[in-house]
Structure 1
Amino acid sequence: MTDNLPNGSWGEDYKRWLAELKQRVERARLRAATSVNRELVTLYWQIGREILDRQRRQGWGAGVIDQLATDLKAAFPDMRGFSPRNLKYMRALAQAWPDVEFVQQPAAQLPWFHLCTLLDKVKDQEQRSWYADKTLEHGWSRQVLTMQIETAANREPAAP
């Protein structure tokens, strides 16, 4: 009876099964994290869009961001991400990608701080989109993305 074998002595079949289960757990964790990130980025984009809209329609100044940060932190004390600085990034995100199609674009799949890096370091929208595409394609970390941007910015133009 194999149930009485000491731990770790169940054979190769068990080892293969365990390896497969570990891979499935990792894939599920990655899918869950990706899904959470996409929802969070979409929420941030929507908040940014609404801030822009309300500032335009109702003439609200930048002070509304500080008040909104205070109120959101009070309503969700266990959540991070509602600082005035982050709310300004949300507004900048909505300015950079104003169309509702944003949620279908590669940029919406990037982690939040990758998007903040793009907003800080790349002013041209076409270039931002290019970097977003390449980041997804190659799985660049934020450090690699920053290096790619800075390296490209420091390149000398080719001689004619």
Structure 2
Amino acid sequence: MPTPATTAPTAATPLLAEVRQLIDAARQRVASAVNAELTQLYWHIGRRISAELLQGQRGTYGQQVVAELARQLTADFGKGWSERQLHYCVRVAEVFPDAGILHTLCSQLSWSHLRLVIQIEDPLKRDFYLEICRVERWSVRQLQERINALLYERTAISKKPRATSGWPPPSLCSRRVKPCRPSCTSPSNWPGKSCSATPIQRSEFSNFRDT
């Protein structure tokens, strides 16, 4: 009589756990590499558009350039190249004129994180969210919620930025830039900007409030 085949264990084994970890780690590296490459692509596109807009003194000319470019790119590459996306590209190049700084940031934050932060006009406020988001490893949703809940406005930093010890940290000082002048690429002029995330509870940011 033939011996019954041995049934493989269904419970997680050390081998299965290790292989899962290898797969998950590889996925994370690929996602990080793709995010960094796309973010740098957007930066280069934004810098090139900015150079073109400066030649035409922006204004109505800039709006026409961006609109036509968006139309042509959408025809060539499909969705993902709207006027709004091109405005984001220009903005990220304006906020981070140093490609090296952006390269460091996009290794820690996704394009979706950066897209939220670059809409903030105040440089100190922008640096605050970049730094705390990086350190606390917030998701995009968490970042949006804290911006909506006015986390920065509730801190001592926003009320007395120069008197607050240790802020901004040295890592942020090098990327401080002057606010961009209002133009067709300024977030204040972008259409349809709205936030729908649910505000977080006061207790969640008690450590950041002014005493």
Short-chain TM bin: 0.7 to 0.9
Give 2:46's aligned amino acid.
G
Q: Is the 8 A contact 1:110 1:136 kept in 2?
A: yes
> Who is 1:86 aligned against?
85
Q: What secondary structure sits across from 2:62 in the alignment?
A: coil
* Distance in 1 (alpha carbons) for counterparts of 2:101 and 2:74: 26
SS state at 2:81 partner? coil
Which residue of the partner structure matches residue 71 of structure 2?
Answer: 70
**In 2, are the aligned partners of 1:107 and 1:129 still within 8 Å (CA)?**
no
Identity of aligned residues (%): 31
CA displacement at 1:108 relative to structure 2: 6.0
Query: Which ranges in structure 2 are unaligned for 5 or more consecutive residues?
Result: 160-209
* Structure 2 letter corresponding to 1:65: V
Deviations 1:52-91 (A, max 9, x none): 01111355421111111111112112xx421111101111
Query: When the two structures are superposed, what TM-score results if normalisation uses the length of structure 1?
Result: 0.80
1:129 corresponds in structure 2 to 127
2:121, 2:16 → 1: CA distance?
48
State the 4+ residue runs in structure 1 displaced beyond 6 angstroms.
none
Higher relative helix content: 1
SS of match in other structure, 1:105: helix
Contact 2:66 2:83 in 1 (8 A): yes
Measured in 1, the distance between the counterparts of 2:66 and 2:17 equals: 49
Q: Whole-Å Cα distance in 2 between the matches of residues 126 and 49 of structure 1? A: 23
Task: Specify the alignment match of 2:100 in structure 1.
Answer: 101
Given candidates 1, 12, 15, the residue that maps to 2:13 is 15
User: Between Structure 1 and Structure 2, how many residues are aligned?
Assistant: 151
CA RMSD, 1 decimal:
2.5
Structure-2 residue corresponding to 1:142: 140
Structure 1 regions of 5+ residues with no counterpart? none
Where 1:82 maps in the other structure, the secondary structure is: coil
